[in-house]
Structure 1
């Protein structure tokens, strides 16, 4: 059975977690303190500025939200954690430990890391197709990147003298993922961008939140545009299209 390029569903209701992420991104003011802990602290915050990591900004965000849920001293939080431990095949004594100590040292184990990362990847693949959500998420991220960029005393070579992230080459894995997600068509005008059928076609990988507006060099901040739409947009902040193709017509 072919397995390369696939991930195995863990089975911990990933759509419930995806809904939680939606709520946080839709109402960021309600979670401002938590968002600052996730996106503003030096350890995580500076990682927002790294150029096109495979463990994207959204991966990091999902992981942090998951951690916050299982550390909640509520029955819902503990119930979620117990279900998670059961799915990853945790030893029986772990269940006794969390009743007395909460997550404790368990979160530093390799088994926990592997299970959490599997769940994060599953949730990521659900959310990655929702480009409207990604736009809102990257708007939040941009405010933190702008704060980092305004502190030019750090001499961070990831930034320009204007305090924006430098433009870097878009890696092939990002191009392939964006082209596939957007169905080989311009997200703005819906023109097909197919070099086989149209040799003159040129795909452009555009920052949804422009670098000039604090945007990140991150796979979640990219969309496929045709050459014309990309030239028209330039460095302006333009809303992404909320139109998605139907699988079939009713």
Structure 2
């Protein structure tokens, strides 16, 4: 059978774990980062998360947002990556160009940092210290470059590659997924039908009542992804649900953050439970198991 076009990922792991750690850290304590997260959820930003069973999942959207923030922060220094064959006097580029080169999206850097940093004396309550800082024109040039780059196809290609890699790493982490969906549920729970404009009328049909999305059966691709991620076992008690050992055990695709509490119909909000564990959990918010089978 011919492989599907998007079945395989080629991983370069450019900052993959740094971004994954940032996502996990933010989700462990989102209230400490609310100011940084405003662009994701305020001004109707939460509406992008509402449609049922998007393959561009809630985690994809969140990774993209965090990765973009990290790349923007690189311009503040700016963070430099050496480029060229001269190890002593290399040209300097931003990490975003280094990433596009590593992923094969571009063949040559699109931007070179114009100047070397210059020393400045920095005085604070702790005394004098010498730090290496960039002139304003250098910082501004780096910022302007990335600001314009974000509108291009090469940047979109880069964000897609980074997002796919980080998602691959993080999808196994049910605790991080539950934390993400609990954060989003706070905003979903505040959505009321009278908030929608005329062009957003289709969103009304997604809800059974204000703040609660309709229950929609997960599509096959979502069930397969969760089944194999959880190794065909109940994540709470470990009961085999593959049907190979016991054909009477029934698997349930449980919303970790219940729909009644603002949960999403999203692949990142699912876990595999046996019928008994699912009935015990009902619509309560229960931290998912952090037990995983060893690979060998």
TM-score norm. by structure 1 comes to 0.90
Residue of structure 1 aligned with 2:209, choices 147, 151, 161? 161
Match of 1:76 in 2: 79
Task: State which of 43, 64, 67 in structure 2 corresponds to 1:41.
Answer: 43
The equivalent of 2:19 in structure 1 is 17
CA distance in 2, matches of 1:89, 1:162: 44
What secondary structure sits across from 2:227 in the alignment? Answer: helix
1:208-231 CA-partner distances (Å, limit 9, x unpaired): 000011111100000001111111
In the alignment, does 2:139 pair up with 1:123?
Answer: no
* Aligned-residue offset at 1:178: 0.3
User: Contact between 1:94 and 1:106, CA under 8 Å: does it hold in 2?
Assistant: no
Deviates further, 151-160 or 88-97: 88-97
The one of 65, 77, 86 equivalent to 2:101 is 86
| Equivalence for 2:64 | 63
Residue 9 of structure 2: aligned partner: 7
Q: Which moves more between the two structures, 113-122 or 70-79? A: 70-79
**Offset at residue 75 of structure 1 (A):** 2.2
1:115-157 CA-partner distances (Å, limit 9, x unpaired): 2101100000101100011111111011111122x45453611
SS at match of 1:142: helix
Residues 141, 114 of structure 1: alpha-carbon distance in 2 compared, 3 angstrom cutoff: same
Alpha-carbon distance in structure 2 between the residues aligned to 1:153 and 1:32: 22
The aligned residue for residue 221 of structure 1 is 269
2:126 aligned partner: none
The structure with the larger Rg is: 2
Q: Deviations over 1:85-105 (max 9, x none)?
A: 322443546214896333132
Map 1:146-185 → 2, pairs under 5 A: 146-148=189-191, 150-154=192-196, 156-185=204-233
Q: Which residue of 2 aligns with 1:237?
A: 285
CA contact (8 A) 1:193 1:201 kept: yes
Structure with greater proportional helix content: 1
Gaps of 5+ in 2: 81-92, 115-137
TM-score (norm 2): 0.76
Give the secondary structure class of the aligned counterpart of 1:169: coil
Moved more, 152-161 or 222-231: 152-161
Contact conserved, 2:212 with 2:261, CA < 8 A, in 1? yes
Tell whether the 8 Å contact from 2:13 to 2:165 is kept in structure 1 after alignment: no
Distance 1:28 1:161 in 2: 26
SS of the residue 1:205 aligns to: strand
Q: How many residues align?
A: 245
- Could you tell which deviates more after superposition, 182-191 or 105-114? 105-114
